[in-house]
Amino acid sequence: MKLSPPPNLRRKSQQPGFFITFEGIEGCGKTTQCHRLAIGLRKQGFQVVETREPGGTYLAERIRSLFLKKDKRKGTPESLTPQCEAALIFASRSQHVTHAIAPALQQGHIVLCDRFSDSTLAYQGYGRGLDVNTLLAFHHFVAGHLIPDLTFLFDLPVQQGLGRRKGTGISNRLDQETRSFHERVRQGFLSLAGIYSDRIMVLNGRQAPEIIASQVANQTLKMLQ
C-alpha cells in the first residue's frame, strides 16, 4: 500500500511539551509500558499526562465505548463500516487533541498516549483497506499537524498477542476480527516504522516486560536531554 505523506507531516516543536505515543497490535503490552514510563518519569520530577485513543476526554470516551462495544442485540447486528470506524476515531481525536493533548503540551508537560495516528493508518488503512492518504488528510483536519515526537512500536506475532488478550478475559469488538485482519495491521505498523524511522522505535514485544521498560525509559530520557 503506497503512502505519500505531505512534507510537513512530522511535528515541528512549536510547543514546550513532549509527545510520546505507544503503538502495536492487540496484546502487545503497550498499555503496560505506557503506565510504567509515566510512573518512572514522575519519580524523576517530570509533569506527565497519561491518555489514550480513542478516548482521553469525557466525550471522546463515550465515542470509544461506541467504537469498541460488541453488539449483543438479537438477530443480524448492524456492523460498523470502515468509513464509520474512521469517522468515530477522528471525532474522538478532535476532542482529545483540543481539550487534552494540546493544552498539556502548551503547559510543558510530557504527554504519553496509548495509540494515536499510527493506529488509524494501521487499522483503518492497512487493516480495513481505506486510503491511507485520505486518512492522513483527515488527521490533519482534526489535529492540525500534531505528530508525536517519539513513538514506541511493540512488535510481536499476532498469535501471541491475541493469546495474551484472551488470557486477560477482556475482549472488545476488534478482538473478534479475523487473524488475517490482525496480520495486515501488524504489517501496516512495520511499514509505517520503515517510513517514519526517525520517529518510530520498534521494540521486540516478546522480551520480558522489565527489559522493555528499561529500553523505553532509556530512549525517552535520551530524547528529553
Please write the tens of the pLDDT for every residue from 177-190: 889 999 999 999 99
134 in a domain, yes or no? yes
Specify the pLDDT at position 177. 87
Specify the pLDDT at position 10. 40
C-alpha cell at 78: 448492524
183 in a domain, yes or no? yes
Does the pLDDT value for residue 90 go beyond 80? Answer: yes
Total residues found in the chain within this entry: 225
- The answer for 151, left when phi > 0, alpha when psi is -120 to 50, beta otherwise, is beta
Distances (CA, A) of 118 to 98, 163, 222: 19, 23, 22
- The answer for 24, left when phi > 0, alpha when psi is -120 to 50, beta otherwise, is left
> Cα dihedral sign for 206, 207, 213, 219?
negative
Alpha-carbon Rg for the chain, nearest whole angstrom, is 17
Q: Strand, helix or coil at 72?
A: coil
Of all residues in the chain, the percent with pLDDT exceeding 70 is 89
Specify the pLDDT at position 106. 94
74 in a domain, yes or no? no
Single pTM value for the model: 0.90
190 in a domain, yes or no? yes
Does the pLDDT value for residue 169 go beyond 60? Answer: yes
14 in a domain, yes or no? no
Q: Domains in the chain: how many in total?
A: 1
Q: What is the extent of the structural domain holding 204?
A: 22-67+79-224
5 in a domain, yes or no? no
Look up the CATH number of the domain holding residue 27: 3.40.50.300
73 in a domain, yes or no? no
At 73, the pLDDT band (50, 70, 90 cuts) reads low
